Every structure is written in C-alpha cells, then in structure tokens.
Structure 1
Amino acid sequence: MSKKKKSQEPSIASRRGVTSLEEAHTWLAERGIEDIECIAPDMAGVVRGKMMPTEKFFSGPIMTMPSSIFAQTISGDYPPDDDKFQHNPTDGDIFFRADYSTLTVVPWESDPTAQLIHDAYTKDGIPVETAPRNVLKRVLQLYEDQGWEAVIAPEIEFYLVKPNTDPDYPLEPPTGRSGRPEAGRQSYSITALNEFDDLIDDIYDLSEAQGLEIDTLIHEDGAAQMEINLRHGQPLELADQVFMFKRTIREAALRHSMYATFMAKPMSNQPGSSMHIHQSVLDRETGQNIFSTKDGEASPAFLNFIGGHQKYLPAVACIMAPYVNSYRRFTRNTTAPVNLFWGHDNRTVGLRVPNSKPAGRRLENRVPSSDCNPYLAIAASLACGYLGLTQKLHPDEPKTGYSSHVMDALPRGLLEALDLFSECEELGEVFGEKFVNTYRAVKHEEFETFMSVISPWEREYLLLNV
C-alpha cells in the first residue's frame, strides 16, 4: 500500500507498551520474542544498552552500565576533568529500570526481538541528572507543579543520500525509481516522493509494527529531503517516538542501499534539516488550552510563553544546535531561522504562530535542528516557555513581513552558545548544575576533536595563497 493510501489507525498504539513486568512477560510470550534490546538514549541521542535473551531479562530485569555513557562525545571520547566537570573516577555502575510503556518489537531483526527503553538511577534510586530522559522528566515536573500539562508535536526533516564510505567526499542525492538523482527544488512534490515509494512503504510498515504514529510525510525543499510529522501528544512519549523513528528511518534506508541522515547541514548547496516543535499548554484540571482566553483570543500566558522563548532560546541554542555543523544551517534568506522574532503564520521568523482554532493555539519553535537529542531539545524549549510563564515575560511586536534577511539573537557558533548556556543562572536551576557542567564538557571536547581536522576549504584557499 502506498503512503498516499496508507492510514495508521489509532489502535496501532496498542502494539507499543504494557504497564508491568507481568504484562511484559505475557506480551513477549504471545509474540515469541527471543531477545530484548534494553536501551537508553545518551547525550547525543545515540542508542546505548544491552541485548539479552528473554529468559535472562526476567531472571534479573535491572540493567547496569558505566556512568560514563552519559559523558561520551559523538566521536566516542570523554572530556577531561576540570574544575567544573568531575567525572566519576571509578566509572561505577548506574542502574536502569525498564519503562514498560515503551515495549515494542524490533521489526527489522531476523529473529523475534523486542526493544525497551530504560531510565537511569543511582544505586540509591535517585534519577541520574545527566540522563536525557530524566532531564525531560525534570522539566515536565515543573509544569505539573504549576497545574499545567505540556503538549507538543514534532516535525523531523532528514535527507536520503547515496552510501558514502569516505568522509572526504561530499554527500550526494540517491537515485530513485527513474534512475536519476533529483535536480532542483521539489518541495511538496508528490512525483519526487514517488521516486522512493518502496522505501516510504517500508518506513510506514516498520513504524506501524512498532506502534509509531505518523501524521504526514512530505517531500521537503532539498534534493531527497523528507519530513515526517508526528501527532501531537505528551512530550515524553513524543520524544521516545522521535528517538525510535530516527533508528527506524535509518534501517529502512539501508534496506534500499541508501543512508538516511539527520545532519543539520549535510550538503553545502542544499537546505538544512530541522526538528520544529509545536507547543501548547493545558490546564490540568479543566483540560483547556491556557494560551486562549474564554472569548478565543490569545491569552497573556501565550505572550509570556513567547517572551520566554525570545529571552532564553539563545542560552539553549547549544542544545537545539548541538554540533559545529548545526550552525551552518542558520543561513540568511533560507528556510532556516536566523532570528528570534515571532509572527502569525510567518515562516521567516524563528517563532511561528500557526493558524488554528483557539483550542489549538500553539507556538512553533523553528530553531532546533534535526541532529538534536529530542529529549533535550524538547526539554529546553519547554524550559524557555516555563520561565516565560513564571516570570511573566513579554515578547516584542509580531513581525508581519519577510524577516529571513535579519540575523538577530541566535549565537553563530557552538562555543558562543555554550558560554550563554553555562552562564544562565535560571536555566542552571532548571537543568541542574551536574547536567550543565557535563553537557558543556562534552561539547567542548567535541569541538576540540573538530578542530583537529583540516577541512577542504583550508586546503583550497590557504595552501598556496598565504
């Protein structure tokens, strides 16, 4: 069935998750599951964990891993200790408890296999501050303490590219059914989407098997650039889905001899890839959207939420744009945001208010890139809104015209962004000192690794000219 005809019924969510170890035992037995992948997202959103036979899982369902997994860089290194970052010198174990609501199959494995996301705790049962899933839970608890419930809907962009085994060579678009790579921009083109019919069908099938619910799938501006929109819902569940979707899309692409990449700027002559986050906040008692008044107008709380983003997004840019490559996406006169202006149905600003009915009033944060850790990016965006709500911050006037040529407020590089994050006391209280120091140390180490590599630009323009 093609992606234009395929529809995912709400009942597919029943294919994901149970409520207890006993229910998990029944669920796994009914499906003949032989192995379980016990997994957790690390600081980069990489899948870490252990695979074990089902019988071993039930004989001792508490998993342990070294504490260093939450201080590992994207290149597999570890930052050195300094006056702020003090890594556990013995690299002792941390303990992982299964969140049974995330239990689902791994449909691309040849043997019947399940996957189960775990949360990290100390031996005393205290949530590990540097575990990204715990970071998001910490922010959501702030909302709950105020009597609020956050609702989000993420949109994730990615590129399909030809397999590339030599990093010295640029990436190229793959060939589709026609045998030719795309030429020119093909935004929203059904014909361009049809070039990858078989792959897209696999994405739908693998997603459905895991209970992952796709709202829409479109072709974006870039050559073989796609976007998947997820249905709105609870932030932790949606972060889990993005975490699993990235893995799923990569696996589906490999089936068709392609790579799927979530790099923010994989090709210099193509648009960057984002993860836009639509956000609203409900009153937990009434279920009403606090962004709208009884007469349907925008509420003061909505403006406070926007004001919080304008003030604090520069300080969490290192989370929204976590790598050196991420800042290449912020280019003037493109679809990427270069400012923190806001406006109604205006895609040339960083903060867009989509057209909606009062009950659906929301803010779209267009700053995060697709390479971000979904747990941390969602936590950071909601933290900005929370601070705006509690401090009653006010935004500037909305922009009504074209604004993509005006660069404003966003840092231009990773080091500048890290300084803003580590110096912001309000965000330090939200995220905790341990997380802030660890994140800063990891990203500084990644930057040093980047600086050890000589780029083609340097060889091109400096070799014989300086």
Structure 2
Amino acid sequence: MASDWISKLPAPAKEYLNGRTLDEVECIISDLPGIARGKAVPAKKFARQDYFHLPDSIFYQTITGGWGEAAGEEGFTEKDMILKPDMATTTAAPWTGDWTLQVIHDAYDRKGNPVGFSPRNVLKRVVQLYRDQGWEPVVAPEMEFFLVARNIDPAKQIEPMMGRSGRPAAARQAYSMTAVDEFGPVIDDIYDFAEAQGFEIDGITQEGGAGQLEINLLHGDPVKLADEVFYFKRLIREAALRHNCFATFMAKPIKDEPGSAMHIHHSILDIETGQNIFSGPQGGETDAFFHYIAGLQNHMPNALAVMAPYVNSYRRYVKDHAAPINLEWGRDNRTTGIRIPLSDPNARRVENRLAGMDCNPYLGIAASLACGYLGLMEERRPDKQFKGDAYDGEGDIPRTLGEALDVFDEATDLHEVLGTEFARVYSIVKRAEYDEFLQEISPWEREHLLINV
C-alpha cells in the first residue's frame, strides 16, 4: 500500500483525522448474519499490508456460534481467504477511545476469484447482472429498530427503554415528535457518529412500536447503501450503549408490538440515457415497471429465507401489525407487500415491504434485486393492482423459516442469479441454525404444556 494512503482517503475520513494521529485500523467483512468479522491492526502495520487472511469458516457459522457442514468436498480445513481492502469504504469509528478507522474488505480465494458466498460479493454479482443488460439499479433502504432497556437475561421479556421523561417509551405514537424527543441523547449521538463517518441521514421518525424508530437513507448505488446499513447497525448499537440501553434490529423483539422492517425502494436507470426505465417518454408506466413488480410477486416467496433469515423473522408477519402478509401490489398502500409510492415519473420506484431489519443488508438487497431482475428477464405481467386493505386477504408467503428454506432450496432460477455456491452454503448454515433452535424449549411451551397435555 502506498505510503501516502491517508491522503487518498474519502474526505470524511481525512477530516476525522485532521490534526490527529491514527492509532488503529479495523479490517472488517460481513459474515452471513451481517456481523462484522476481521482484525484490528496498528495503523503502521495496515500501511504496509495489501491484504490479510481469515479462514473461510467465518461464513459457515450460525448466529449462535455453531457450524454448518458447508465446507464442501475438501472438508472442514478452514483454508485462508485473501481479504483486500476497498479503500472507498474507509470511515471513522468515532465511538472508540483512540483514533480508529474502519475499512470493509472483499474476499477472494487463492486463485484471485471472488468468494461466492461472501455477502458483499453476492450483491456485487447481482448488480453486475443488471449492468450487463445496460441497467443501473438504484435502491433506498429504510431502517427500523427499537431502543430497549438493557437486557442481560434471555429469559426476561424485552422492555422499552426509559425516556428522558423517566417513563418507558410509549407505543402507538407513530410520527410523534415528542416521542422522538424522548430519545434525544441517543439520536444526537447517532447524528454525530453518522456525520463523523460521512453518512447522510434523510430523516428519523418515530414508528408505531414502543421505542421504535426509523432512519431513511438517500437513494443510490446498492453496494454503497448496503455498506452504509452495515455500518449503521454498529453505529446505532454503539450510540445506544452510551445511554444505558440497547438498540435491537430483531424483526419482532416485543410481544404485541409491530416488527422492524428494512423496506427497500428500487428504481432502474438506463446506463446510456440515465432515464428511469419504469417511466416512458410521456411519463407513463412502462412494461419494465410491471415486469419488475411481477418478478417480486413471483420470486419473493423463494427469496424470503434470505430476507427473513431467523425464526423470529416470521413473528413479524401478523395481520394488522404494520407488516405485509401477502404479495399484493398497490399504489400508495402500506398494507400491501409491494407498494408504489407517490412520486413524479423520474422518481418512479417499487418498494419491497417484506424484508426484515434482521437480514444481512447485502443479502437482503441482493435477494430483492434478484427477484426484480428475474421479472425483467421473464417479462411477465403482475396480478391486478390491489385496492383496499390487504390485511383482509389470505397470506401467501411462507410462515416459518423451515418452510421458507424448503421453497428456497427448490428455486434454481434464483440460485443462478445469487450464485449457486452461495445458495448451497446459505441453506446448509440456516438449516443448522434452525435445528439448533428446535432443540430449545420456550416459556410458552413450559407454561401451557408442562402439566396440561
């Protein structure tokens, strides 16, 4: 790496270091759940290295720290991957006690090929498929999460955090500015951390759950936005810890409260003209617009195991609890799984409301784009536009992780888009994780079955 590498960093990183001595660099990569894995190295060592190694087994781990038997024919040898920095992702770690930078790395095998089951590589693969067709995909993610009281006992139910008023955060206060003010100190740190990292927040709102907030990000390149969500999850957790509470991105952390989604807005630009392919010359809706909707309708059930990756994810899909239960599409209708927001023709977009905030942002965005891509290639028409309350209809998505994995395993067309090696590894790891869960006995089972059956 060049000795003047700091002078070539993104502007926010250089500003963060202005007049300061860099102590450490965190070399990180996302695993399947979206946890940052890697190494922290002294700044002088980082300046001398072009890459570092981690074993490929980081992608075979379940969320509990167990292992899926996904190593393939070579067996579980934990061979090293080559991790190379993407210096454009360099950003501050402003919550640390010293001056630290973070850099996201990409994973390659010993022959220099991208590792197919590394989440960032999966998203890059899908984006390249669009570009090969002359299209540039654009996304805008919305992040929902809860600020909750510290909880160190898994047997104890999760409770809302205490606000500045000394009262627990109240539910059913959607869009209340007073409710947002309750979390003022945490939100101030979120803004400060985001500014230090060079991230632009489009807005923060109170959602319908107790202590539930939503952060919107500006639209842009899918890989860049996934990087930001990956960074934001850590940023928000660190801000919460400063104020004696937890930030959780669980899909359904609190009983009888709404769950947390990562709504994904999609639009597609023609690379040559820069025009939105969902809008025609006179501003009307194009065939491509309807093909994209059809792709989401036809393929999202197959991709749900990626966008809703845990047993808890399926507790979010409950009627009348602000989460879709089917694949209807409608204009400006938040009860449908696929929503067409109000917009002018240049900003016409399709919103996927199924993905949970617990998904890996690289994989969730990749899976959603993959469904739309298949729709564009298949050129099928969607079902008739839905009008009314979609919660009145029947659910048409998998209801459990096991069912979702069964559907995912059969979806060979989706595997071709995401990568067959990714699909193989992902299924094995998630089934191992599901088996781990099935060995657990819940409080509900002990309460209602212990002496009654």
- Picking from 39, 59, 71, the partner of 1:50 is 39
SS at match of 2:407: helix
Tell me how far apart the structure 2 counterparts of residues 313 and 245 of structure 1 sit (CA, whole Å): 25
The equivalent of 2:119 in structure 1 is: 132
Instruction: Tell whether the 8 Å contact from 1:243 to 1:374 is kept in structure 2 after alignment.
Output: yes
The equivalent of 1:453 in structure 2 is: 440
The equivalent of 2:291 in structure 1 is: 304
Letter in structure 1 aligned against 2:182: E
- Please provide the CA RMSD for this pair: 1.3
The equivalent of 1:410 in structure 2 is: 397
Does 1:155 pair with 2:142?
Answer: yes
The CA deviation at 1:407 is 3.0
Instruction: Tell whether the 8 Å contact from 2:171 to 2:211 is kept in structure 1 after alignment.
Output: no
Residue deviations 1:5-29 (CA, integer Å, cap 9, x gap)? xxxxxxxxxxxxxxx8565333577
The CA deviation at 1:88 is 4.2
TM-score by length of 2: 0.96
Instruction: Tell whether the 8 Å contact from 1:157 to 1:262 is kept in structure 2 after alignment.
Output: yes
Does 1:271 pair with 2:271?
Answer: no
The equivalent of 2:322 in structure 1 is: 335
SS at match of 2:159: coil
> What is the correspondence of 1:3-152 to structure 2 with a 5 Å cutoff?
21=2, 24-26=5-7, 27=9, 30=18, 31-80=20-69, 86=73, 88-152=75-139
TM-score by length of 1: 0.93
The CA deviation at 1:425 is 1.5
Instruction: Tell whether the 8 Å contact from 1:21 to 1:100 is kept in structure 2 after alignment.
Output: no
- Picking from 168, 173, 191, the partner of 2:160 is 173
Instruction: Tell whether the 8 Å contact from 1:24 to 1:100 is kept in structure 2 after alignment.
Output: no
SS at match of 2:296: helix
SS at match of 1:404: helix
Does 1:317 pair with 2:304?
Answer: yes
SS at match of 1:276: strand
The equivalent of 1:389 in structure 2 is: 376
Tell me how far apart the structure 1 counterparts of residues 73 and 246 of structure 2 sit (CA, whole Å): 37
Instruction: Tell whether the 8 Å contact from 2:70 to 2:429 is kept in structure 1 after alignment.
Output: no
The answer for unaligned runs of 5 or more in structure 1 is 1-19
Instruction: Tell whether the 8 Å contact from 1:292 to 1:302 is kept in structure 2 after alignment.
Output: yes
Instruction: Tell whether the 8 Å contact from 2:94 to 2:100 is kept in structure 1 after alignment.
Output: yes
> What is the correspondence of 1:178-257 to structure 2 with a 5 Å cutoff?
178-257=165-244
Instruction: Tell whether the 8 Å contact from 1:272 to 1:329 is kept in structure 2 after alignment.
Output: yes
The alpha-carbon distance between structure 1 residues 87 and 259, as it changes in their structure 2 partners (threshold 3 A), is farther
Does 1:462 pair with 2:449?
Answer: yes
Instruction: Tell whether the 8 Å contact from 1:150 to 1:234 is kept in structure 2 after alignment.
Output: yes
Q: Which moved more, 1:259-268 or 1:59-68?
A: 59-68
> What is the correspondence of 1:419-430 to structure 2 with a 5 Å cutoff?
419-430=406-417
The equivalent of 1:349 in structure 2 is: 336
The alpha-carbon distance between structure 1 residues 70 and 81, as it changes in their structure 2 partners (threshold 3 A), is closer
Q: Which moved more, 1:184-193 or 1:20-29?
A: 20-29
How many residues are matched? 445
